[in-house]
Amino acid sequence: MSEQATDDKAISEQAISEQAINEQPRRKWVPQVAPDGLLLVDKDQGFTSHNAVALCRRILQTKKVGHCGTLDPMATGMLLVVLGKATKLQDALMCEHKYYSATMKLGIETNSQDADGETVAEKSTEGVTEDAIRAAFEHYLGAFDQVPPMFSAVKINGVPCYKLARKGLEIERKARHVKVHSYEISRIDLEAAEVDFSIHTTKGFYVRTYAHDIGQMLGCGAHLTALRRTQSGQFDLSQAIDVPTLKACTPDELRARIIPMDELQRKIAAAAAADPTS
């Protein structure tokens, strides 16, 4: 949900999947100096962003590991994992543009705005046309204000929204200024009430809220059923390690996959020079 587009339903990030982590053989913890750089992970559905960080910590036996922009458990795709001195570059990496592919289901709204949530409304999609769908997407092209979902890590008076949402509370959230640079609709199935699309956005963008808002504009409601982050800044999935391979990595194998600091800093500088205003 990430999803920043990222897409980041933190309620699901609170419980680390021990089964997912324990598939990597346990070794006696002997603290090591963290390598400095960036690891690109192609996250699986159900494998949380926290899982990826915990797994890297275990393999490399170091605690200086973090990630740049949470992906919802339902989402798959590009997750940036920073290690050592690269943890100081998190803000710069999170500021870069994101690219996603997604599927939305018309006619059903959920409390989380994606398929992991509970259904809160169902409406007929009869009368919804392909032209209306395309017009709704076009309406959200460019810059606009987006209100983050209640099931998110956004804090209100120091309390994450998801904790309030779990109590059934709906609190006013401050809108964020976001931008859709481009989008492409690849499939509209009126009978199945589904739309496949890809989107290029700025940081802090919630793709599930985007789907929800389009559903509101169409008058039938909608929620996100699939989300994949295909690119973050200059990094795409062709460079990423998948989760099964990550789980099987030895420390040396994992270190070999890390993008070193000098290369990482060059890429960040190049991205900033190419698009200083985002």
Query: Which residues are catalytically annotated?
Result: 72
Structure tokens at 264: 């990482």
Burial class (CB in 10 A: 0-12, 13-18, 19+), 140: middle
Do residues 165 and 150 lie in contact, with contact meaning Cβ atoms separated by under 8 Å? Answer: yes
Burial class (CB in 10 A: 0-12, 13-18, 19+), 206: buried
Beta-bridge partners for 156: 159
Q: Could you tell me where the beta strands, DSSP code E, fall in 98-247?
A: 98-106, 108-110, 119-122, 142-146, 155-156, 159-160, 176-189, 194-201, 222-232, 235-236, 241-242
Structure tokens at 223: 């929620």
